[in-house]
Every structure is written in structure tokens, then in C-alpha cells.
Amino acid sequence: MHEIKPLTSLRGFAALAVVMQHFSAAAQSLTPNRIPSLVPHGYMAVDFFFVLSGFIMCLTYLSAFQAERIKAFPGFLLKRVARIVPLNVFVLLVLMVLGLISRATIGSNMFFNDASLAFDLPANILMLQGLGIGTNLNGPSWSISTEFAAYFLFPLFIVFVFNKRRLVSAATLFVAVAVLSADAFRAPGLHLENTTIGDQVLYCFTEFVLGMGAYILYRSRRAGGRGASDLEVGLIFAATALFLVTGTDLIVALLCPFIVVSTALNRGFFARVLSGGVPYFLGLVSFSIYLIHEPCRRLSVLLFTNIHPGVSGPVTALSFALVGSLAVIPLAWLTYIGVERPGRVLIRRWAETVTRRNAMARTPG
């Protein structure tokens, strides 16, 4: 299946939104003045990631699972490992080095909690920390861990979401919306507060399923030749921005499937803009942006406080947040071309070699 470039670009903007929110929080610690976040409720970009992932998994792999059933799972999982593991392991190794330097220079680890590192490091390498197994060593990676768990359930989700009985499919999507809504109604302002492991896993699985439901809508509209106008996309984007500013998390989460579908179907202004060089570049390096930004943020705060000791004004603090966020991008490009992309190629080539050798070994004569 061909790549939908505007969706890749949206992933880049979503990654940058998370980075800007986190740098804004760091900037707030540098000034006694109240400063606004560069991206209000930017954490909702993670919810968008989950929805987008469910959609993209269907776009890319659904036909293989429907044709080969469970036989498609090993190849699917291997490609997901190739996509995620190399950069995750690299960032963990960098964190280990930074932690050792921090211990040697200031007597404590300013990058992560290393109290039970012998257990936590293997758990993080295996991406189990988002399920409550081990302490998370790199803040943002909790969502990578929970999403990786969703990949193991992908064949099961297919059975329910794409069931031949439409009632089963509709009921599955209804349950996902109901579970997400029930959790939001327990919090003020319909917030989705991922303060516990259970909440994080719940949001990931339900929103991943909603992304799969979005693919049903996309496929239906595309088969019927119904695209999405610029007006439709613009209205959905405007509504999402409005509910982000007002902090109505549940509505933002429920709009995410429609953001994905309308963007994927648009062939007008938004498609042209989002297929452009800069937005698409951000999408390509989005995983690197997301995974490296937390150690970058801590290093940025350390550098800033050494250059500018004492209390900062609001303009200075906000400038730090903006410059620090943007500075992650070139570093992410370096990790993309130096680690993420070659690591993906290496694992896939290794898998192809093993498969070829096994096939030759089974061939008589």
C-alpha cells in the first residue's frame, strides 16, 4: 500500500507538539511568572499517535492478515521490531552513558531513576515498562511500550473490528468509545489523565481500535469515490484546535479518527501543504524527535541554567522552550540517518537472509 504523505506529516507535527509541551513545562520551572504552554494540552498528540497507528497498521497489513491469517503475524511483528527496537536501544544506551556522567560529576543521576537498573534496563529494552514491568527510564517511551503491546493483539482486534457480522464490528467500536468516555467522565473537564499504567494501556488499546475503525470509514469513502474537501478538513482541524485550547480531551480523542480519515482523503490545499518538503521531513524523523527529546530537554535545562543562572523572565523562559524544542529536530535527523533507518534495514536484511537459508535447507537435493 502506498504511503499517505499528509498523514506522515501530521505525525511529525504531533511529535513536535509533545516536545513543545514538555519544553514549556521545563520553561515554567525557570521563571516565577505564569507562562502559557507553546502547545496547550500537547499530550493529546499521543492519543493521536495511537489512533493513527491503528489506521496505518490496517492500511499496511490488513490485506496480508485477511489472506494468510495468523501466518502473517511473524512478518508483521518483525517489521514492527525493525521499526522500533534499534532507536529504542540506542537511546537507552545514551541514557546509560549520561547517567554515569551525571553520577560522576554531581553525585546523582539527573536523567532517570537508577535504583533498580539491573531489572529496569532489560525491561525497557524489551519494551515492558509501559505495562508496569520495570521503571520507565525514558519518559516518552511509555507510549511506545503500550503500542508495541497492541501489536501483539492486532490479529485479535482484526477479528472483532473487521468481523463479517457488522453488529460485532459496530459493538466493538461502541465499546471502545464507551470505555474511553467512561474514564473521561470520571475526571473534571472530560480530561484523559494518563496518571496510571492502567489508564495508559486503556487509552492505547481503545484508541488503536478506533484507528482501525477509521480505516473502515476511509475504505468505504474511497471505494465510493468520496474524497474530503478542504472545508471538511479545515472544520475538523478548527474544532480540534478549539477543544485543545479549552482542554476537552475526550472530544479531541474522538475527533482523531476523523482527522486521519479526512486528511487521508483530501486532494486539495491541505494535501499539497502536508505533502511539502518541511512537513514531510518532520514526519520522517518524528519517531526520533519523540524518543530523544526527553534527554535533550534535561541537557537543555542544564545548559541554560549554567549560561543564565538565576531567575528568568517570562519572555526568556518562553524563548528557551521554543529554541530548545526546535533544536531537537536536527539531532533527530542525525539519529534517523545514523541509527533508526540503518537499524531498520539491517534487521530486515537479516530476517530475509534467515528466511532464505531456511527455505534452502528445506529444499530436497
The model's pLDDT over 123-174, given as tens digits with 9 standing for 90+, comes to 999 999 999 999 999 999 999 999 999 999 999 999 999 999 999 999 999 9
Q: Give the separation between CA 18 and CA 70, rounded to whole angstroms.
A: 35
* Exposed e or buried b per residue across 324-345, where buried means at least 16 C-beta atoms within 10 angstroms of its C-beta: bbebbbebbbebbeebbbebbe
Q: What per-residue confidence (pLDDT) applies to 48?
A: 97
* Site of grid cell 542525525: 334
Q: Is the pLDDT confidence value at 45 over 80?
A: yes
54-103 confidence digits (pLDDT tens)? 999 999 999 999 999 999 999 999 999 999 999 999 999 999 999 999 99
Q: How many domains is the chain partitioned into structurally?
A: 1
Q: What per-residue confidence (pLDDT) applies to 360?
A: 67
Q: Is the pLDDT confidence value at 355 over 70?
A: no
Q: Give the separation between CA 41 and CA 37, rounded to whole angstroms.
A: 8
User: 177-181, 198-202, 339-343: lowest mean pLDDT where?
Assistant: 198-202
Q: Is the pLDDT confidence value at 38 over 70?
A: yes
Nearest to 67 by CA among 151, 144, 162: 162
Has residue 363 been placed in a domain? no
User: How many Å separate Cα 240 from the centre of its chain?
Assistant: 18
Share of the chain above pLDDT 70, in %: 97
* Site of grid cell 532489560: 122
Q: What per-residue confidence (pLDDT) applies to 348?
A: 85
Q: Is the pLDDT confidence value at 353 over 90?
A: no
Has residue 134 been placed in a domain? yes
Q: What is the identity of the amino acid at 16?
A: L
Has residue 223 been placed in a domain? yes
Secondary structure element (H or E) that encloses residue 17, with its range? helix 5-28
Confidence band for 364, pLDDT divided at 50, 70 and 90: low
Q: What per-residue confidence (pLDDT) applies to 116?
A: 94
Has residue 361 been placed in a domain? no
DSSP 8-class letter at 360: H
Has residue 362 been placed in a domain? no
Q: What per-residue confidence (pLDDT) applies to 362?
A: 60
Q: What per-residue confidence (pLDDT) applies to 358?
A: 63
Has residue 216 been placed in a domain? yes
298-345 confidence digits (pLDDT tens)? 999 999 999 988 889 999 999 999 999 999 999 999 999 999 999 999
**Phi, psi angles (nearest 5°) of residue 226:** -100, 105
Q: Give the separation between CA 44 and CA 20, rounded to whole angstroms.
A: 12
Other C-beta atoms within 10 Å of 267: how many? Answer: 12
Half-sphere exposure of 101 (CA within 13 A, CB side): 8
Q: What per-residue confidence (pLDDT) applies to 351?
A: 77
Q: Give the separation between CA 12 and CA 15, rounded to whole angstroms.
A: 5
221-263 confidence digits (pLDDT tens)? 999 999 999 999 999 999 999 999 888 999 999 999 999 999 9
Which residues constitute the domain of residue 297?
5-355
Q: What per-residue confidence (pLDDT) applies to 59?
A: 96
State the chain's mean pLDDT as an integer: 93
Has residue 365 been placed in a domain? no
Q: Is the pLDDT confidence value at 365 over 60?
A: no
Has residue 364 been placed in a domain? no
Are 212 and 55 in contact, with CB atoms under 8 Å apart?
yes
Q: What per-residue confidence (pLDDT) applies to 333?
A: 98
